[in-house]
Structure 1
Amino acid sequence: MLKHRPAVAAALLWTAGYALACWTQWSWLSLYTSLFLALAAAAVWLLRAPGRSVVCGILLIGIAAGYYANYDRGNQTALPIATRMSEQQEAIDYETAGLIVSTVDVDGDKAAFTIRSDREGEGGEAIAVTVRLLTKEEQEQARTWRRGDAVSLSGLIQRPGEARNFDGFDYRAYLRLKHIHWQLNVKGVEQIQVGGSRSWNWYTVLRWNDQFRETLGGGIERIFPADQAGFMKSMLVGVRSDMDPLQFQQFSQLGLSHILAVSGLHVGIFLACLLWLMRRLGFTREAYLLTAMAMMPIYIVVTGAAPSIVRAGLMAMIALYAAYRHALKDGLNTVLIVGFGMLVWDPYYIHDVSFQLSFLVTIGLIIGVPAVNRLLPIRSAAWKNAVSIALVAQLVSFPVSIYYFNQFSLLSLAANFFLVPVFSLVSMPGGTASLILGLIYAPVGKAAAWLIARVNDLVFAVVDVSSRWDVFQTIWPSPGIGWIASYYASLTAVGWLLLAIKDRRTENDRPMLTPAARSNPISGLASGAAGRTAPAVGLTLSILSLLVLLGFAYKPDLLRDFGGEVDFIDVGQGDSILITTPLSRSVILIDGGGTVSFRKPGDEWKQRKDPYEVGRKLLVPLLKKRGIQRIDYLIVTHQDTDHIGGLQAVIEQIPVGRLLFNGTFKPGPGAEKLFQTALDKQVRLVKAHAGDTLQPDGATLLHILAPAPPEDHAGLRLEKNQNGESVVIYMEMSGTRWLFTGDMDQASENDVLTRLEAVNAAGGTTTTLPTIDVLKVAHHGSKTSTGVLWLDAWKPRMAVISAGVHNSYGHPNPLVLGRLEERNVSILRTDKHGEVQMKVKGGNIRLRTKLTDSTGR
């Protein structure tokens, strides 16, 4: 196939070259390498050397690798500050000026935008700016800023934050792909001077486009109900900022998030409606094709110009031009020519998930739908096409979806099959018509929007109910590139062999014998049997290999001995500890961090549309990335926000077996909602008190040391001050010993030591406490905890302190650090080291940290 499609071969080889450059990071790859290899390829081709196609293909991979490496190497900061700011310096005062080159996102007490510096010596570098707004008046002022405005500003400049957890989101790498290397944090609008646009330029055009999109968004808000405006803006004009996070999560869980991001589906609907309208208005064929071509760039820009919409729009323009010239070409050639052009224009497109999914699904549909149509025993062409498109799209997108999003709903195929047509035929075209009518005459637009809203309500209800069926939600760890390649190879083999068997059966159904069969019927029967057997055996092996691949991807550690693992996750100013036992692979999660928010009356304007929530934004994605499909024991040491805030998202999205807590209740919406959700999910609630034990497997035993059992075991005791009621756990795992302390104070420490002494005395022994390998320092290193008696009793070898970077409490306290250092305890801190991972095997602990290289015993 590739021999007759050179454009397809070139695009695939070029992509392979980019992948090679990303994987190898060879320093000798450069533009000079590409030029040298290009000359070599030209020589091989012109000299008609043997195997020149293969040789030139290999050289093309090298050319692409050199091109990507040169592009990536040139992505460096030009700010002079880089030469005088060491990696240890986190932020310094900085002043600059330039143009606002992005939309200005004002959300609560924060305004964010990107500027391009125009100061001499700064190379026109892009800088991400975040402004902390101090008053509601400043918020209103920030809403007047626009793309293209000239600004001068001063604040603290720093490098973007890197990933602080293994497998975590790397904001620094994300911004680098946008050619942004610095963040400027500004406090208050007094540090900013904003002027109008200096002169006409490209940003002026984009400014007009921003204003047009705002007009469209405002029109949607006026005609649609408030609870649907964000959804319709996302679907019609690509504005996602007002989308309800819970609703977006529900669509994502069902594999319907592509409805909310403008993509090829939306381009197809837009073109279909546009062409239908122009035909009805009497446009000639040439006129409506040329008009549609002219409208596509406008549609691309108005809807946000994401990679998926650029791909679909460019393909549509090429197809429209080919139709205009009566020269429709191969769709596979078209899509890969577009992809090749986009990758040459911006090599970083290869890292964009929307680019990857858009092209993979499009290529899969072009190749796979005709094949699946031949296999499906459905007579209706319309139904056959609908089933084929839904099935192929699901199969092709599956590996990329689980790689990035780590979830897959078993209802996804049905949801796409039944709900996408509703959006395609009703919501999007009807919403667009309502918007146009509303801009002309609002009452008519509202009437039309009311009808669309009723259809949307029905769909939302179906999505809401379906997304709550946890039994259909599956969680997958991110697979490797080798697994993804093997999946596509096995899937291709299954499809090819099914077609081969179908063709063989069709051939055998023919009534007439060939001359060879008539002359030797025995031989004909034997060869026919062999011909039928080989594809059948191959198909069986291919299906088995596909099933094995799926099983290995879902449970990659079934056949491997990882030992036990204890991960101290960096959740900022809070605690979260993930324990995986060595034998049963049981999962224990102790606490889940949480964002503490202080709001005074009158500060409602500071509330953000989608505030950062550590469970939903950090902890749950991290757990899913690691393939945590079930939490066997969720331990809530106590109910302060910085320990339970993130658990709400965890318990909503990941199945939990048991929830262990201290037997008290802290009045407040956080704890109340968490426990109510647990009850709704039928999670077993267990009070944990001193003397209780928990044994997940034969190599792991947890002893509860605190809190003390209450005198009255009935009901829950209200307790506002939770620190002294923290669940304290002594764990033995494969010959190692651990102590997890929550936020216990020194009084609680002394109580635990007193009880342990009493237990020993009652048993007639004076046995000292065992030496602890790892101590989780209580209360983030506060001076109220980790007293001298506590340390001398347990004699820890290593201590882990979970605290937020630059936290306002001053944790960890120097007194606590001094006590640990005096006893030669190795100190690990999440604010300094990021996540701390400890692997346990054979009585040994192997240590690694995210931000520094560390070794352990």
Structure 2
Amino acid sequence: MAERPVVLIVLCWTLGYVLAYVWGLQTAGIYMALAGIAFSALLAAAKPRGWMWLLAAVTVLTAAGWYGAYDDRNRTLIAPAAEEVEQVAFRGRLVTPVTVDGDRVSFQAVAESVKLPDAQRVGEEGGEARGEKLQVSVRLLKQEEQLMAASWRRGDRIEMTGTLKRPSEARNFGAFDYRRYLYMHHIHWQLTVKGTEAIVVTAPGRGDWGVWRLGRWNDRFRDALASKVDALFPEEQSGFMKGMLIGLTDEIDPEQFDAFSRLGLTHIIAISGLNVAIFLGCLIWLLRRIGLTRETYLWTAMGFIPLYIAATGGSPSIVRAGMMAMIGLYAAYRNRLKDGLHLAFITGLAMLAWHPYYLTDVSFQLSFLVTIGIIVLVPKVSKLLPVTNVKLRDALSITLVAQFVSFPLTIYYFNQFSLLSFAANLALVPVFSLVVMPVGTVAMLLGFVSMEAGGILAWIVEKVNGLLFAVVTWCSELRLFQTIWPSPTVGWMVFYYGGLAGLVWLGLQRKQQVESASEDSGPMLDSVLVMHWKTRLHRWNRRVLLPGAVIGLGLVLWAGYRPLQEYSRQGKVQFIDVGQGDSILIHSPGEARHILVDGGGTVSFRKPGESWKERRDPYEIGRKTLVPLLKKRGIQQIDELIVTHQDEDHFGGLQAVLEDIPVKRLLFNGTLKPIPKVKQLFETALARGTQLVPIQAGDRLKVGADTELLFLFPFSEMAQPERTTVRLESDQNPISLVFMMKMGGTRWLFTGDIGVKQELELLERWSALTPEQGGGLHLLEQPIDVLKVAHHGSKSSTADPWLEAWRPKQAVISAGANNVYGHPSPQVMKRLSSRGTLIHRTDRHGEVQMMVKEGQISVRRKLE
């Protein structure tokens, strides 16, 4: 590290940020930073013995202080009495482009004035919260309002009245935290407005200037480029091309994006270092062709890079690549281009010093990690590959290094990895890099001069894209090659990178031993002795160390794929917060069998003629919440998928589950609700090889040694008199599956959406059965430990006789926060509370997790 002080300083600076992020050093931040800078200057001047390591320690403290001071300034100027306030008057300026998607408009605005109702003070010291940035969401009420909203631009002055509220935080363990995301963008409040009647937007005058003016011009330039892409490419490709060429990703087809994501090819769509390299290579080639001198084309290229960064959106990865390119071009101009690693670290330090929150940005992390990995490892890996063709060897080594280096972060954030990813990147990236992007860029620019000429090139790109999209779609649907990984720990990542580095080092040592073994040097006696020890060392490396490193890395990978928690004797029941709906994930102890009960669903209230309200990528609970959570928790297969009944808020999210995660069996009540979504669900299950199992009262399911399910409802005559027949049934609540689960000495009751009538019938029928038949007092002789309250706590369920029979110790109510139905009912809450039942509610507590060990249940809730 003494030979690379920049590397040491940047690593220490990053470590300081990490410590500050974990521990929080806001108050003392500025003092630590100033003291660290002063002490660093003294060390650099005096240079005592071991001063470099002292400087490293001081750098860590300085960086921690700098991050703390920066974070301390990230405060809101608004302090209302509640977390949601209506009739808030806002006056300010739009500072981002306006996105119009169906009936929703979103943008960010900076306040000149914020006024709360009822003479509430804006902040602790009064004032008007000038400079406060808000995330604004407008729900359009009429179709004609879309055109009005689409005319708004960055820099426009805006006055509006709406509801001010805190951004929503993560309601499930490990889920995306929107509040934290906005906090990292210096936003603490959301303002929601209904319709445009409460909004007045005024374009800025000629004398109205600010930094926003540059952004406004850039938005117009990007809009012009986007319109040209729309005119040149078909609708099914224009969104993709806009994402690849100018960084506008809002219009990419979600299914198309998912296909690229499954193959690890999203870096093709997202503007990154690859795009900068291609742009720079084409630009320099063109400048040299027209006869510019070396100095002139280097300076010209440097001048174009900031324009390219602005035109493509300025994401952290493109800023990193652009800054590195500019530093590299300047170093080339001064004939000092020697160390790419220093370029990368200097760029990273500058970006982190300017904006410390870059540290938590996934694109920043992946961009720098892959760049540094390529710089450090590609020359070494190239030596190990038995390939004589230089271009092929370089392509293989770059792809290998990028795949292995980015792998831990990929599975941490996205929890999936395709075994075809290496082949897909090796085969498809060159086509996109050498054909689609450069030819598409020329077609877009040429379109401003001649649409006919641009159209010819666009036609070529269109045909290439069609072929590539077909290949990507086909490969992404090969489920055999798709793997699901739980999010790894930091310790696992350390072992992974250590094993990877050790494997490369041992491979290089073996190659050097092989090469040196063929050389003769020195006297014969010395040569014999040296050869003897070299041979023994070579054998030791080849037979023990190198195979051991391969096995060790393989064990690390297996431990990441199937962590030790999978084999725990502890059972777990997770009541996932899916809003107004049910979804329960059950892990059986020991064998780690996974049972998913229902999957929530997004209920649409669209009326005929309101198709204009549909969004390009509408929120769907299964794809946006449930599937990401299951993958993050490493659910690689669902053994039993139980659909209690076929109402949208219970089965809607399961379509995405069946499409993304293997399911062995689907258990249902033996009926079909005659609606298209249910038909699609069951057809998908059959196409994926999932066994459909109709269930009726009396059926039992053994799940491992310590878990058993006994189905109590519905009775056969209510659903399917014959096992071989499935009848249509629109009213699904009265025939919900109800089952008791015994797990590790505890008893649980899951009730679907049954009503009081079904509760009484269930009790009557099972009480009439003899103990030998599993009923009578044998079923009710002990209180149940946990009751999943029926129908989200509706007053039509959970009657007094039901509670008197089961005597639940704890109850869980799954309901949406601020739902329009008023669930849970006050009457139900009173019935439960009067019996001393401990109540958990997803609308208040978020996800509720219950762990079972040695007959005891421990509970943790996401929101306390």
Alignment TM class, shorter chain as reference? over 0.9
- CA-CA distance at 1:766 after TM superposition: 4.9
Amino acid at match of 1:306: S
Q: Superposed, which structure 2 residues align to 1:427-826 within 5 Å?
A: 427-510=436-519, 512-515=520-523, 518-520=524-526, 523-533=529-539, 535-536=541-542, 537-557=544-564, 561=568, 563-709=570-716, 710-760=720-770, 766-767=777-778, 769=780, 770-826=782-838
Do structure 1's residue 350 and structure 2's residue 362 form an aligned pair?
no
- CA-CA distance at 1:336 after TM superposition: 0.8
Distance in 2 between residues matched to 1:124 and 1:269, nearest whole Å: 39
1:197/1:204 contact within 8 Å kept: no
1:637/1:727 contact within 8 Å kept: yes
Query: What's the counterpart of residue 233 of structure 2?
Result: 224
Query: What's the counterpart of residue 67 of structure 2?
Result: 68
- CA-CA distance at 1:533 after TM superposition: 4.8
Distance in 1 between residues matched to 2:569 and 2:96, nearest whole Å: 47
1:155/1:184 contact within 8 Å kept: yes
Do structure 1's residue 833 and structure 2's residue 845 form an aligned pair?
yes
Match of 2:179 among 172, 177, 185: 172
Q: 1:151 and 1:559, CA in 2 relative to 1: closer, same or farther beyond 3 A?
A: closer
2:670/2:695 contact within 8 Å kept: yes
Query: What's the counterpart of residue 117 of structure 2?
Result: none
Amino acid at match of 1:77: T
Deviations 1:36-61 (A, max 9, x none): 23333333443332211111111111
- CA-CA distance at 1:152 after TM superposition: 1.3
- CA-CA distance at 1:666 after TM superposition: 0.8
Q: 1:25 and 1:541, CA in 2 relative to 1: closer, same or farther beyond 3 A?
A: farther
Structure 2 unmatched runs, 5+: 114-126
Do structure 1's residue 42 and structure 2's residue 41 form an aligned pair?
yes
Q: 1:78 and 1:597, CA in 2 relative to 1: closer, same or farther beyond 3 A?
A: same
Deviations 1:119-178 (A, max 9, x none): 354140111111111101222111111100011111111111100000011000000000
Q: Superposed, which structure 2 residues align to 1:140-539 within 5 Å?
A: 140-198=147-205, 199-510=208-519, 512-515=520-523, 518-520=524-526, 523-533=529-539, 535-536=541-542, 537-539=544-546
Do structure 1's residue 111 and structure 2's residue 123 form an aligned pair?
no
Deviations 1:415-450 (A, max 9, x none): 000010110111111111221222222233223212
2:640/2:667 contact within 8 Å kept: yes
Do structure 1's residue 128 and structure 2's residue 124 form an aligned pair?
no
Secondary structure of 1:729's aligned partner: strand
RMSD: 1.6
- CA-CA distance at 1:790 after TM superposition: 1.3
Secondary structure of 2:144's aligned partner: helix
Distance in 2 between residues matched to 1:447 and 1:44, nearest whole Å: 64
Q: 1:786 and 1:380, CA in 2 relative to 1: closer, same or farther beyond 3 A?
A: same
Amino acid at match of 1:657: K
- CA-CA distance at 1:25 after TM superposition: 2.5
Q: 1:507 and 1:601, CA in 2 relative to 1: closer, same or farther beyond 3 A?
A: same
2:567/2:589 contact within 8 Å kept: no
Secondary structure of 1:118's aligned partner: strand
- CA-CA distance at 1:768 after TM superposition: 5.8
Distance in 1 between residues matched to 2:607 and 2:672, nearest whole Å: 25
Secondary structure of 1:721's aligned partner: coil
1:689/1:707 contact within 8 Å kept: yes
- CA-CA distance at 1:795 after TM superposition: 0.9
Query: What's the counterpart of residue 121 of structure 2?
Result: none
Distance in 2 between residues matched to 1:655 and 1:740, nearest whole Å: 24
Distance in 1 between residues matched to 2:189 and 2:595, nearest whole Å: 38
Amino acid at match of 2:201: V
- CA-CA distance at 1:561 after TM superposition: 2.2
Amino acid at match of 1:835: E
Amino acid at match of 1:99: R
Distance in 2 between residues matched to 1:9 and 1:162, nearest whole Å: 37
- CA-CA distance at 1:481 after TM superposition: 1.3
Distance in 2 between residues matched to 1:559 and 1:658, nearest whole Å: 20
2:517/2:531 contact within 8 Å kept: no
Distance in 2 between residues matched to 1:74 and 1:556, nearest whole Å: 40
Secondary structure of 1:189's aligned partner: coil
Deviations 1:448-484 (A, max 9, x none): 2122111111111111111111111111111111211
- CA-CA distance at 1:197 after TM superposition: 1.6
Secondary structure of 1:371's aligned partner: helix
Distance in 2 between residues matched to 1:282 and 1:522, nearest whole Å: 61
Structure 1 unmatched runs, 5+: 853-857
- CA-CA distance at 1:847 after TM superposition: 0.4
Aligned residues: 843
1:161/1:172 contact within 8 Å kept: yes
Q: 1:66 and 1:387, CA in 2 relative to 1: closer, same or farther beyond 3 A?
A: same
Query: What's the counterpart of residue 855 of structure 1?
Result: none
Distance in 2 between residues matched to 1:599 and 1:85, nearest whole Å: 35
- CA-CA distance at 1:750 after TM superposition: 1.9
Q: 1:830 and 1:117, CA in 2 relative to 1: closer, same or farther beyond 3 A?
A: same
2:513/2:534 contact within 8 Å kept: no
Distance in 1 between residues matched to 2:723 and 2:168, nearest whole Å: 48
Distance in 1 between residues matched to 2:750 and 2:12, nearest whole Å: 53
Distance in 1 between residues matched to 2:496 and 2:266, nearest whole Å: 23
Distance in 1 between residues matched to 2:570 and 2:193, nearest whole Å: 47
Distance in 1 between residues matched to 2:378 and 2:772, nearest whole Å: 76
Query: What's the counterpart of residue 5 of structure 1?
Result: 4
Secondary structure of 2:89's aligned partner: strand
2:567/2:590 contact within 8 Å kept: no
- CA-CA distance at 1:707 after TM superposition: 1.4
The two structures have a TM-score, normalised by structure 1, of 0.96
2:370/2:406 contact within 8 Å kept: yes
- CA-CA distance at 1:26 after TM superposition: 4.7
Secondary structure of 2:703's aligned partner: strand
Secondary structure of 2:447's aligned partner: helix
Secondary structure of 2:783's aligned partner: coil
Q: 1:552 and 1:687, CA in 2 relative to 1: closer, same or farther beyond 3 A?
A: same
Amino acid at match of 1:303: T
Identity %: 51
Distance in 2 between residues matched to 1:805 and 1:827, nearest whole Å: 16
- CA-CA distance at 1:543 after TM superposition: 2.4
1:98/1:116 contact within 8 Å kept: yes
2:27/2:68 contact within 8 Å kept: no
Distance in 2 between residues matched to 1:226 and 1:826, nearest whole Å: 55
Distance in 2 between residues matched to 1:211 and 1:839, nearest whole Å: 55
1:630/1:657 contact within 8 Å kept: yes
Q: 1:765 and 1:787, CA in 2 relative to 1: closer, same or farther beyond 3 A?
A: closer
Secondary structure of 1:8's aligned partner: helix
The two structures have a TM-score, normalised by structure 2, of 0.95
Amino acid at match of 1:32: Y
Distance in 1 between residues matched to 2:75 and 2:502, nearest whole Å: 44
Do structure 1's residue 102 and structure 2's residue 102 form an aligned pair?
no
Match of 1:850 among 845, 848, 862: 862
Distance in 2 between residues matched to 1:292 and 1:706, nearest whole Å: 73
2:328/2:337 contact within 8 Å kept: yes
